[in-house]
A and B are shown apart, each in its own frame.
Chain A
Amino acid sequence: MPILEVEHIQKKFEHTEVLKDLSFSLEQGQVLSIIGSSGSGKTTLLRCLNFLERPDHGIIRVNGETLFDASAPGSARESDIRRKRLHFGLVFQSFNLFPQYTARQNVMLARELLAKELPDYRERKKEIQQEIAAQAETLLTQMGLLNRMDNYPHQLSGGQCQRVAIARALALQPDILCFDEPTSALDPELTGEVLKVIRELAVQDTTMIIVTHEMSFAREVSDRIIFMDNGYILEQGTPKQVFEHPREERTRQFLSNYQGENR
């Protein structure tokens, strides 16, 4: 059974149809990269998966459980949605770290707040907090930020901020980790360190959806590629299929812009 099934998602803003009937699925442990030109709807798709936008039509299923069904109005209640969001993690293009918290606090905050809702939180408070702190340290170490844990975001480079943001998303152990152009806001020399971390996550079989303009990276790290154009999925398949034998003329045209990078 696929970990994620997306069926017939449609989304309109005012009069613009941004997503026009998208369907795809993703297996556990796979990495899916979504490519396509700006304005093709890639980011909106990620935002729909994370319930930052509500699709007008369609169904989103995770592990066979229907998280969202546009035809069932009850599935969009704010209190339920909060829990459903936790199936997904999202790493933003512009990091969106909380500036008043250190790297460590950024990673710990959401879990601490969720822990307070546990029925046995009061009795096990100390134990739970130690566990959360330990997890944050492990994650930040994994991100290569052992010496940066107590720095505030403004004291970190863009690449370091993005790695903190990845650790923050991982702390909630989402089923599927989404990246919205994770390196687009970075200086070219800082993209490498972020891509390296994502590559390591792929090796550990983290299920990921990555919206990216880094074609060679997408090709190397992904199990599947989706090429989006004008709100449609124009083409999907393995990296080999999409990059080497694109069926659509539009895909070929898009990829030719990155030719220098790919060869």
Chain B
Amino acid sequence: MELVMEQMPVVINALNTGFLQTLKLFFVTLAGAVPLGLIIAFGSMSRFKPISWACRVLVWIVRGTPLMIQLLIIYYFPGLVLDNPIWGGGETGRFLAASVSFILNYACYFSEIYRGGIQGVPVGQEEAGLVLGMTKSQIFFRVTLLQMIKRIVPPMSNEIITLVKDTSLARIIALQEIIWAGQSFMKGSHGISGAIWPLFFTAVYYLLCNGILTILLGRLEKKLDYFR
């Protein structure tokens, strides 16, 4: 125990650095996947068959294969198979490849949630707007959008909490996120080796982060509770 207390400051410092990278990947994924998901959702609902078909196939592939494999393919395929290492080297390259993989993967999941949300708003809402002389965009922004958001908050909360934990998969391409940071103390880092407790301790970070997210998303859900 004494040893742990001695190692604590060094470990916390390293884990904080790793967690910063975790958070960076989390926020970049959200910022990219939230709008991209909407585009894919509209694409898969498009009346132009080739577009809806392409979007649905993309969603099928991305949701049908493990994110870990997608990460590996996206990171290694350009360099090893095409001989064109587009991501560049080092942590920046790994972060870029991880971001692209996560954004693509999560956009596909989000798109299905959006699609359910959009299609769940009764047609009568749009028709009522049309009859009242509203334009399609007025109907979307003033009538449909909020009803859709209300519908998607619970399933989106689920996905967002999963995303926090999924960022750890980026460890497979050696992105220096918190799991990587925790693991490094097993092999030896900062003069500490053979210590497994830092790896276990990373769970506390995830738990705290998701605790905060749960509270925030719960508040949002409550805020939209004023109508049904």
Per the bound structure, the CA–CA distance linking A234 and B228 in Å amounts to: 42
Say whether A57 faces chain B, with CB atoms less than 8 Å apart: no
- Taking the closest CB of chain A, its distance from the CB of B201, in whole angstroms, is 44
Nearest chain B residue, comparing its CB with the CB of A114: B133
| In the complex, A172 has a CB within 8 A of chain B | yes
The answer to whether A92 touches B132 (Cβ under 8 A) is no
Q: Mark B70-100, 1 if CB is under 8 A from A, else 0.
A: 0000000000000000000000000000000
Interchain CA distance A32-B87 in the complex, whole Å: 71
Which of B130, B147, B150: most chain A Cβ within 10 A?
A: B130
Interface contact A100-B133, CB-CB below 8 Å:
no
Q: Which residues of A have CB within 8 Å of B133?
A: 82-83, 85-86, 110, 113-114, 172
B228 to A: closest C-beta gap in Å:
4
Question: Can you list, as one digit per residue, whether each of A63-88 has a CB less than 8 Å from chain B (1) or not (0)?
Answer: 00000000000000000001101101
Given contacts A96-B125, A98-B143, contact A89 B226 (CB under 8 A): no
Q: Report which of B124, B135, B142, B146 forms a contact with A94, defined as CB distance below 8 A.
A: B124
Whether the Cβ atoms of B142 and A96 lie closer than 8 Å is: no
Q: How far is the CB of A184 from chain B (nearest CB, A)?
A: 14
Interface membership of B134, Cβ < 8 A: yes
Would you give 5 A-B contacts (Cβ < 8 Å), ordered by A?
A82-B130, A82-B133, A85-B131, A90-B131, A98-B128
Could you tell me if A152 and B226 are in contact, using CB atoms closer than 8 angstroms? yes
Task: Tell yes or no: A154 within 8 A of B by CB.
Answer: yes
Cβ of A92: which chain B residues have Cβ within 8 Å of it? 124, 127-128
Asked if A52 CB lies within 8 Å of chain B CBs, one says yes
Assess the B138–A113 pair: CB atoms within 8 A.
yes
Interface residue? A251 (CB, 8 A): no
Whether, in the assembled complex, A186 has its beta carbon less than 8 Å from a beta carbon of chain B, the answer is no
Sort A-B residue pairs by CB-CB distance and give the 10 closest, nearest first.
Answer: A110-B132, A96-B128, A96-B124, A154-B228, A99-B227, A90-B131, A100-B227, A86-B133, A100-B146, A152-B227
| Closest Cβ–Cβ distance, residue A217 to chain B (whole Å) | 23
User: Contact flags (1/0) for B109-131 with A, using CB distance below 8 Å?
Assistant: 00000000000001011011111
Q: How would you classify the secondary structure of chain B's contact residues: helix, strand, loop or mixed?
A: helix
Q: Beyond A113-B142, A172-B132, is A99–B127 a contact (Cβ under 8 Å)? A: no
Interface centre among B128, B130, B138, B150, by most chain A C-beta atoms within 10 angstroms, is: B128
Q: What A residues does B122 contact at CB under 8 A?
A: 94, 96
Confirm or deny: A109 has a beta carbon within 8 angstroms of a beta carbon on chain B: yes
Bound state CA distance, A113 and B226, in angstroms? 23
The answer, yes or no, to whether A50 is at the interface (CB within 8 Å) is: yes
CA gap between A86 and B138 in the complex, in Å: 16
Tell me the bound Cα distance from A96 to B150 in angstroms.
Answer: 17
- Write out the residue numbers on chain A whose beta carbons fall within 8 Å of the beta carbon of B150: 100
A98 contacts which chain B residues (CB < 8 A)? 125, 128, 143
Checking A88, A114, A152 against B131 with a beta-carbon cut-off of 8 angstroms, the contacting residue is: A88
- The residue among A94, A97, A99 with the most chain B CB atoms within 10 A of its own CB is A99
A86-B133, A99-B228, A168-B132 as given contacts; A109 in contact with B142, CB under 8 Å: yes
Contacts of B135 in A (CB 8 A): 82
* Residue ID in chain A nearest B149 by CB atoms: A100
Residues of A within 8 A of B228 (CB): 99, 152-154
Q: Which residues of B contact A152 (CB under 8 A)?
A: 226-228
A67 to chain B, nearest CB (A): 13
Beta-carbon contacts under 8 Å, A137-177 to B = 152-154, 168-169, 172
Nearest CB in chain A to that of B132: its residue: A110
CA of A110 to CA of B150 in the docked complex: distance in angstroms?
A: 22
Contact status B227-A154, CB under 8 Å: yes
Cβ contact within 8 Å between B227 and A89: no
A98-B143, A99-B147, A99-B227 given; A110·B134 CB < 8 A: yes
In whole angstroms, how far apart are the Cα atoms of A169 and B133 in the complex? Answer: 11
